[in-house]
Amino acid sequence: MNWFEQRIRRYEHRRWTTDDNRMVRPFVWGLEHIGGDVKAEGDAAREFLHAYSTAAIERSREWYEPAPATDYKVDNEDVLTFTSAIASPYPENNTVHAQIFRGKKKEPAVLLLPNWNAKWHGQRGLCEWLQRLGITVLKMSMPYHDRRMARGHERADQLVGPNVGLTIQANRQAVQDAKLCLRWMEQQGYTRIGILGTSIGSSIGYITMMHDAGVHAGGFFHVSTYFADVVSGGMTTNHVWEGMRTHVTVDELREYWAPISPMPYVERGLGAGRNSFMVYGKYDPTFLPELTEQMLDALHKHGANPKTLELACGHYSLELAPFSYIAGIRMLRFLKGALA
């Protein structure tokens, strides 16, 4: 490990330790959130999840397709709200909030999906950069984030957590919410629409793009394969895995969470022919580089040819100069050209 990598990794660890509100929550099968029996345990739960996950992947287009929204509203602060297609157990999570940054041009628009535990004002600078290029941005709050956060919680532990069924429901909800945002953008007359995701927003964004013909291009910061591999091996999710590791193996969890992972759909060829740009860190301790490499290999094997940019940074340090400027400029150029 050279001195520069050591420096990056020390920064990543230091940033990780600044969040002192992580909790190791108890493992729960949570099958009631996906149509199963709340009392199911052990082999019964495993059998249900095996059948459920297999069916969800086989009929993924239907599984991810939401019922139309009928209550789109835009307030005087340019915040779009509507009722989510999935009713979760937390009422505050069931209203989608999305901030609008209006560009001067009418046709190009981007749906932005932030990182895990992003704040309401997070990634505002990126939105304003796109806005200056004339591109309208709709920044969607992810399930269980900021205005959608569950009462009594400080973090979005439902979107990535040791409740197996609720995590499935929350990520499915995120994709369906994103698709409803795309439908609103189309209703406003935007004809060239892109999607831009960061970290878990990258995963959800790529799954959305593969399941929605209305997306003309996708930009993604951080790239990985399976949801379970990130949770079990990533630094920022080790408290989640700590609550799960004595109850399920990585192989089991990879199967159960396969429907909310990009890899199964890449292997089915859904990424072929889609215009995308992927940026990732060479020293990322959260989306591990070996997983990024596996994902890129699978994309090329199954007909996709994404543009890529590897930077000598990690997960958090992508936000630092010069990495943020290099990544931002390259991403903005890609989106401007793709949506022209």
292-325 confidence digits (pLDDT tens): 999 999 999 999 999 999 999 999 999 999 999 9
Q: How far is CA 136 from the centre of its chain?
A: 20
pLDDT band at 105 (very low <50, low <70, confident <90, very high): confident
pLDDT band at 19 (very low <50, low <70, confident <90, very high): confident
d(CA 111, CA 196): 6
d(CA 109, CA 181): 11
Instruction: Pull the structure tokens for residue 308.
Output: 């890529």
Residue pLDDT, tens place only, 240-267: 999 999 999 999 999 999 999 999 999 9
* 218-245: burial string, b at 16+ Cβ within 10 Å, e else: bbbbbbbbbbbbbbbbbbbbbbbbebbe
Q: How far is CA 231 from the centre of its chain?
A: 13
Pairing of strands 79-83, 108-113: unpaired
pLDDT band at 340 (very low <50, low <70, confident <90, very high): confident
Distance of CA 110 to CAs 58, 210, 221, Å? 29, 16, 15
Residue 198 has what pLDDT?
98
Residue 283 has what pLDDT?
98
**Long-range CB contacts for residues 248-252, cutoff 8 Å, separation at least 24:** 248/27, 248/164, 252/46
